Structure 1
Amino acid sequence: MLSFFRRLSKSAVGTGLMVLILLMILAGFAMQDIRSVFSGNFGMSKGTLVKIGGEPVSERDLDSAMKRALADARQQNPEASYATLAKQFDQILEALVNEHALIAFGEDHGFVMSKRLVDGEIAALPQTKGLDGKFNEQAYNAFLAQEQLTDADVRRLIQVAITQRLILAPAAVEAKVPVGVARPYAAMLLEQREGQMSVVPADIFRGGLNPSDGDLQSFYTQNRPRYMVAEQRILRLATISPETVAGAAPSEAEIAAYYKANQANYAGSETRVLSQAVVQDKQQADGIAARAKAGGSFAAAAAPAGLSAADVAVGPQTRAQFSTLGGAAIANSAFAAAKGAIVGPVRSDLGWHVIKIEDIRNATGKSLAQAHDEIAALLATSKRKESLTDAVTKVEDRIDDGASFAEAVGAAKLPVVTTPAINAGGAARGDAAYKFPAELQPALKAGFAMAVDDDPEVVTLANDGGYVIVAVDRVIEAAPAPLAEIKDQVRADWIRRKAMDRAQAVASQIAAKVARGEPMEKAIAEAGVALPPVEPVVARRIQISEANADAAAPLKMLFSLTQGKSRMVADPRDRGFFIVKTNKIVPGNAFSAPGLIVRTQREFEGAVSDELGQQLLAAMKIEQGVKRNDEAIAAAKQRYSGAEQ
């Protein structure tokens, strides 16, 4: 084929044809780029939602982030679903864009993250440490399985955290706000207002409300999202634990072989009580040895050389311990001598050694008979772990080869447990007494992260509890509960809504009269309903932040109105309505509360720091360039919310 093109290029006609072919190829590329531009993808590959510089935010990145957000949400609400997170979609996507912009900016400006630095951060995580307090690969893998993360995910999260610490934090730290800026806001917090407040509670309008079946059906139909039941799943579980595998008992030969291989541990070590003098002069060493051999204490023999009793007392030493004091040759000489013998002078790098063997203590080890049961238990545990590993490896191999859950666990002869329909928190809506086993929580998390057609997953259990194979048997999509099951709840909600409607009508009439200048007391009296009396209100603006949820709404309204004005505001917990009127405004004086000025400064400094960080991040995105695939983003948003956007 290549020779054909070479021959073709040697003729005028052939050269023209080759130029034409080249132009057609270039035109094809150009048309593809034009189609990409007009489709809004700007040349982005399939699966890319946003591109920041050279950093793509993929559908997989979004999926991982949504899974983490859902797991966090389920800590507070076990029935949370992706539909619950629908309102947070834009926020989660923007957080991913910010992360990728930060990484792209760092890489462009030389902030290279070394593997060693990331490894150090991983090793510092408490979840990655073993019983000895050091990094443990098995503990790390268990952590990844429990959190439904990959090693790449963890490294990415750590890379983002370190980059934030190195780039964003220095720019946002120690922001200063002048006193002149804080003082007017402090004065505003001290502003005092006087007014009136009336309450129209909904409870007094409940009388006579008795909905028909048609009323309930209509109300239920209009408010179906209110009665949504979170997604439920039926899971199939098969546990492989150390107790369920067949661990053969070790033979006597294996016990004896283990004892022999570890005899140094079981036999113990001989200990000698030693005295030692080390001098630099051979003649001095000869004198010490001669005096020691002549009788008397070793300390007295070493005294003429300027050594005290504390200098020569070495105490009990094993051969290995004494080797660290003078070397292997010195230790061998000392441990070859008899009790009471004087060894030396012997030369080492430290000088001339003279040693006395004060006492010999025999090794206190264990015989094979004494260590038999201990070794048997140790080997049995080891064999059980090997059997466990072998069993789970065979199951994983079968799954990798395409076996179904039933085929994989059937071949391993594992007992299977099928759960009732449960939510992500492990509760069964149809059986209030059911409790998902606490030790199998990692399997619950994995089961709700899987798709129906995913392969069975082998999940590692905590505390060496073994493994559990989990598969999704059936998914019951999130849907409104049947009216028949929640009729009492719907009836209560209908009555509450109608009572609120009545209360709103009365409150609106009162508010309209007060707004026209009629005294609030008179407007309440003309309502034709027994309402609580009008209450006077005196408050400072600073009390809004300190008020509880019940008082915050009317207080906010009091401080949002101009003098002489009034307005109706709903109770945030749907218990009725407030009519609030502002009668008098007294400006605050910040000079009377210098401490409040300082406090306002500090609060503003925190806000300013956040703002500086956000501004720097915005500048990074502008520099890197942000390109969005609007069609892909809209499709992803619809997929997670389950509704047309």
Structure 2
Amino acid sequence: MLSFFRRSSKSKVGTIVMALVLLAIIIGFAIADAQNFGSGTLSFGGNGSALATVGDERVTDADMSDAMQRRLAQVREQNPGADYGTIANEFDPILSALIDERALVAFANANGFRLSKRLIDAEIAQLPGTRGLNGQFSDQAYQAFLQQQRMTDAQLRRLLASSLLQRLVLAPVVANPRVPVGLATPYANMMLEAREGEAASIPIELFRSGLNPSDADLQRYYASNRGRYTVPEQRVIRIARIGAEQVANVQPSDQEIAAFYNANQAIYGAKDTRSLSQVVVPDQQTAAAIAARARQGGTLAAAAAPAGSNAAVTRLPDQTREAYSSVAGARAAQAVFSAAQGAVVGPTRSDFGWVVVKVESIKREGGRSLAQARGEIAERLAREKRGTALEEMVDKVQTAIDDGANFAEAAAAARLETTTTPLIMPNGRSRVDPAYRAPADLAKAITEAFKIAPNDPPEIIPLGENQGYALMSPAQVVPAAPAPLASIRDQVRNDWIESQALIRARAAASAIAAKAARGMPLARAVREAGVALPAVRPMAARRIEIANANAVIPPAMRMLFTLPQGKSRMVADPRNGGFFVVKVNKIVPGNALLQPALIARMQTELQQAIGEDYAAQLINAIRADVKIKRNESAIAAAKQRMTASGF
């Protein structure tokens, strides 16, 4: 509800913890290694040209590039067809948020606010994606989480460190602000305010009639709007995939399968448990006599009886090899578990004396034969061998590149099939072949291929988890430039007509608004416009109805609750590119004294807003304290590259 007031007064909400917004917008920032992370000082400075310096910190071109790429990836989850143009208007807010985040880090460093490595480790352990099946932290799960998020350990640690600083520095500022009833009551009164007025619509399409530009008009319009028609840099890219298809024929041999089976009997072999009788005596002669009597028949206890009390017999039921080895040693276990049922083994030397054992019974459970386990083993070994073969192939191609091979020579070194794209833009689309779409799994690789200088050697670019690699090299580079007028003449003509119609519509709206401001009835001012405009529409609402509406507030209605009584003003109509002229005829003040619940509600909302304002003021003070310097020329160049050409 309170956000309605803030929108009406054009004040900004949500400056609180700008980097917290980034947690939802751009999870993770591309920032270079923090060499001294954990040593007491945080450093988020990345490589690349600095767009801004924030104390000892920097926001670099690489930081913004990565932030915009991550934002695009998030937008594409809801809108797969999104490109960098879709998020062009988010460049400035993201840059501002990065600067705020760096300012907080610089402020913490300058004032001795230290975050220990153990504290960051604890935060990582709390992430659900870092836990194994037992619910505990798992390094394997953590690595998978990093790969899924396309982040490094250092990047995640920096993000968590930033989040902790926000929590520890900004959260106390916004905690428990107090708003008295006297402050909340005027806002509650305002919510009950009722207004009546009227609005005139001035659609742009009514002003297109008769507009027919000459060649000179088009030339002038094209010349003054060349940036509008700039085509991003285009490239023809040569691609050679290095993936599963290249190693599909790699298979393990029968010998490798058998060797793996034999080396992993703990997995595939039957479970052998034995019930044993055992006697341990101090000397070998006594043990040999017991063994000889036991082999003649009878129990081991009977055979040991003549040796007296020093030859006590112990029963060991259901022993595994591992369990018995821990009792009698590996040598005795080897002998016992190699013997048949009923056999007498020994005497064998152990750490406790001489051992004689009788195998009373043998029980075997489970287990699979080599034939039964062959398919599973073959699949596992094939996967491992193919992974190794793929890496060897990548190494072979990279070695060729390092030795000076060009794209064709490097691809030939590993017998890779090559393809060539048409002339494409960084988003994978082609102006020369509108039907062409680059494969989705090559999107990231194509972005990287646009960073390769024309004379640089080809590069091997990973395609993502289990997708292999791509050897890529630009074959042709067409710099960003305005499209020739002849090729976009119809578009320029439509844009010229649109611009002239907009001028006409604005002039008509301004004239209507001026007449209404001098006291002329709005309906009469519309009739005198000289164009068959739609009839004036009445408007009436209470502010609370607008505030509670689960929809975007129309500009005309928003203007109705902005102007004083008797005033009128022109406002743009984003639906059809035209304008509204809104006039406020009557304002009925509200009285919330009979609605204490509304006053209490306003207290609650004001408390939240005041907390946000406190945080905003602290961020502003921090920004002033750490001294921020923006490189406007570098920012403009980065914005042009990232939003117009899509990197």
Equivalent residue for 2:147, pick from 143, 148, 158: 143
Per-residue deviation, 1:363: 3.3
Q: Deviations over 1:338-379 (max 9, x none)?
A: 999xxxxxxxxxxxxxxxx99964233233344444434433
Taking structure 1 as reference, are residues 163 and 507 closer, same or farther at Cα in structure 2, changes over 3 Å only? closer
C-alpha deviations, 1:188-243, integer Å up to 9, x for none? 23221112222232323333333333333333333333334344333322211132
1:428-467 equivalent positions in 2, closer than 5 A: 428-448=430-450, 450-452=452-454, 455-467=457-469
- The answer (yes or no) to whether the contact 2:91–2:639 under 8 Å persists in 1 is no
In the alignment, the residues of structure 2 paired with residue 358 and residue 601 of structure 1 have an alpha-carbon distance, to the nearest angstrom, of: 84
The residue that corresponds to 1:626 in the other structure is 627
* Aligned pairs, number: 531
Task: Give the TM-score of the pair, scaled to structure 1.
Answer: 0.69
Superposed, 1:11-410 pairs within 5 Å as: 52-53=54-55, 55-57=56-58, 61-73=60-72, 75=75, 85=88, 88-89=91-92, 92-119=94-121, 121=123, 134-136=138-140, 139=143, 143=147, 147=150, 151-245=153-247, 248-270=250-272, 319=320, 328=327, 361-400=363-402, 403-410=405-412
Deviation at 1:178, TM superposition (A): 3.0
CA–CA separation in structure 2 for the residues paired with 1:50 and 1:188: 42
Q: TM-score, normalised by structure 2?
A: 0.69
1:590 is the counterpart of 2:588:
no
Higher share of residues assigned helix: 1
Amino acid at match of 1:162: L
Change over 3 Å in CA distance of 1:469–1:122 after alignment to 2: farther
237-246 or 402-411, which deviates more:
402-411
8 Å contact 1:175–1:605 — kept in the other structure? yes
Q: For residues 540 and 401 of structure 1, do their structure 2 counterparts lie closer, same or farther at Cα, with a shift above 3 Å needed?
A: farther
> Which residue is 1:283 aligned to?
none
1:444-466 CA-to-partner distances (Å, cap 9, x unmatched) read: 34334555555543333344232
Q: Distance in 1 between matches of 2:621 and 2:184?
A: 27
Task: State the Cα deviation string for residues 574-630 of structure 1 (Å, max 9, x = none).
Answer: 54332222221111222344444344333333332222223333444555x4263x6
CA separation of 1:46/1:433 partners in 2, compared to 1, >3 Å: closer, same or farther?
closer
Change (3 A) 1:92 1:237: same
Alpha-carbon distance between aligned partners in 1 of 2:499 and 2:636, rounded to the nearest angstrom: 31
CA deviation string 1:37-85 (max 9, x = no partner): xxxxxxxx996665555x2316xx3422233225524746978559985
- The question of whether the paired residues in 2 share the 8 Å contact of 1:70 and 1:85 is answered with no
- Contact 1:50/1:626 (CA < 8 Å) preserved in 2? no
- How far the C-alpha of 1:388 sits from its partner, in A, is 1.0
Assess if the C-alpha contact under 8 Å between 2:197 and 2:539 holds in 1: yes
Q: Equivalent pairs: percent with the same residue?
A: 46
Select which of 539, 542, 552 maps to 2:541: 539
Contact 2:203 2:576 in 1 (8 A): no
Please state how far the C-alpha of 1:244 moved relative to its aligned partner.
Answer: 0.5
Tell me the alpha carbon deviations over residues 522-548 of structure 1, each in whole angstroms, 9 at most, x when there is no partner.
333333433322222212234555679
Asked if the contact 2:61/2:638 (under 8 Å) is kept, the reply is no
1:233 and 1:126 map into 2 onto residues whose CA distance is 42
Change over 3 Å in CA distance of 1:182–1:73 after alignment to 2: farther
Q: Which residue of 2 aligns with 1:20?
A: none
Q: Is the 8 A contact 1:567 1:579 kept in 2?
A: yes
Q: Taking structure 1 as reference, are residues 419 and 47 closer, same or farther at Cα in structure 2, changes over 3 Å only?
A: closer
- State the alpha-carbon separation in 2 of the partners of residues 205 and 50 from structure 1: 45
Q: Give 1:63's aligned amino acid.
A: A
Contact 1:500/1:574 (<8 A) preserved:
no
C-alpha distance after superposition, 1:550-590 (max 9, x if no partner): 96222233233322222333323454332222221111222
Deviations 1:265-289 (A, max 9, x none): 2222035799xxxxxxxxxxxxxxx
Selected match of 2:426 from 412, 424, 427: 424
1:608 is matched with which residue?
A: 610
Match of 2:492 in 1: 490
Q: Name the SS of the counterpart of 1:210 in structure 2.
A: coil
Show the counterpart of 1:639. 637
Specify every segment of 5 or more residues in structure 1 that has no aligned partner in the other structure, as ranges. Answer: 1-44, 275-315, 341-356
Q: Deviations over 1:468-495 (max 9, x none)?
A: 2233444444433333333333333333
Query: How big is each residue's C-alpha offset from its partner over 1:269-326, in whole Å with a ceiling of 9 and x where there is no partner?
Result: 035799xxxxxxxxxxxxxxxxxxxxxxxxxxxxxxxxxxxxxxxxx977379889xx
Equivalent-residue separation in structure 2 for 1:138 and 1:244 (angstroms)? 30
Q: Does the Cα contact within 8 Å between 2:396 and 2:413 map onto a contact in 1? A: no
Does structure 2 conserve the Cα–Cα contact (< 8 Å) formed by 1:229 and 1:480? yes
Q: Does the residue aligned with 1:590 lie in a helix, a strand or coil? A: coil
Change beyond 3 A, Cα 1:264–1:513: closer
Checking the alignment, whether the CA contact within 8 Å between 1:514 and 1:523 is kept in structure 2 is yes
Native 8 Å contact 2:199 2:581 kept in 1? yes
What residue identity is the alignment partner of 2:62?
D
Aligned partners of 2:237 and 2:476 also within 8 Å: yes
Map of 1:456-535 to 2, 5 A cutoff?
456-535=458-537
5+ residue gaps, structure 2, are 1-46, 277-316, 343-358, 642-647
Question: Equivalent residue of 1:237, what SS?
Answer: strand
The amino acid across from 2:68 in the alignment is A
1:567 matches 2:573: no
Structure 1 residues 413 and 109, CA gap change in structure 2 (3 angstroms)? same
User: For 1:580 and 1:173, how far apart are their aligned partners in 2?
Assistant: 41
- Between the aligned partners of 2:417 and 2:141, the Cα distance in structure 1 is 29
CA distance in 1 between partners of 2:505 and 2:221 (Å)? 19
Indicate the SS of the match to 1:464. coil
